[in-house]
Structure 1
Amino acid sequence: MNVYDLAHNLARAIKENEYYKEFARAKKLIDGDAEAKKILTDFRNRQMEVEKARLLGQKPPADKMEALHKMQEIITANQKIKSYLEAEFKFGRLMADIQKIIGEGLDLFEKNA
């Protein structure tokens, strides 16, 4: 079988997976709610600012950390966003597992001695 055909089969199988379906449903709800989408975007932007500082070896400014914590509280209280992030995490873990399986099958990763 052609590798591209197998990739298409994998994509179809992923679409049938419950984690994908849950993520797609949650994403559709977020996409249909402008306020929730804005909150999520703001949260992600604040996360990136803090992570950027850490990657540069800097301590994130206290005001940015406080703003991020406040956003986390807002998200925790918003069931739609909370459900989306949980579904996104589960789906991301599924995709990481698949990538790991493929990588191991291709001997891309160092084996533990």
Structure 2
Amino acid sequence: MSNVYDKAHELSRSLRDSDEFQQLKNLHVQVEEDEVAKRMLDNFRNVQLELQQKQMQGQQPTEEEITQAQQQFEMVQQHEVISLLMEQEQKVSTVIGDVNKIITEPLEELYGNPDDPENVQ
């Protein structure tokens, strides 16, 4: 089984060395070094987190909270570096999702894919 863990660590290094991750890392540094951008992004993520926590507790966000979140999103999208950072985060997330799908293929072959409508038992 240790070979699986060795491969996982190798995969981690590959992700860390990938262009997608390196670009994300560089953009993250740029945002961290820009006090205004960092504050804008932190505020946006705090609003997102608060909305997610409410939803997880079964509460619906108010119209005011939704409007505030939309305004925060529009504001961060207007900041070039933050916008690029968010795009790059999405690209890295897609890579990780694709890798996860590849890794879980043996389990799907064994048990089937629960999200597949043809696999309803």
| TM tier, smaller | 0.7 to 0.9
* Distance across 1 between alignment mates of 2:92 and 2:111: 22
TM-score between both structures, scaled by the size of structure 1: 0.84
Task: Using the TM superposition, give the Cα deviation of residue 5 of structure 1 relative to its aligned residue in structure 2, in angstroms.
Answer: 2.4
Q: TM-score normalized by structure 2?
A: 0.79
Residue 112 of structure 2 corresponds to: 110
Contact 1:103–1:109 (CA under 8 A) maintained in structure 2: no
Distance 1:22 1:105 in 2: 31
Q: CA deviation at 1:109?
A: 6.1
Unaligned runs of 5+ in 1: none
Gaps in structure 2 of 5+ consecutive residues? none
Give the match's secondary structure for 1:2: helix
Q: Deviations over 1:1-28 (max 9, x none)?
A: 8233222221222233221122111111
Q: Tell me how large the CA RMSD over aligned residues is.
A: 2.1
Report the Cα distance in structure 1 between the residues aligned to 2:53 and 2:62, rounded to whole angstroms.
Answer: 11
Could you tell me how far apart the structure 1 residues matched to 2:22 and 2:107 are? 29
Q: Which residue of 1 aligns with 2:97?
A: 96
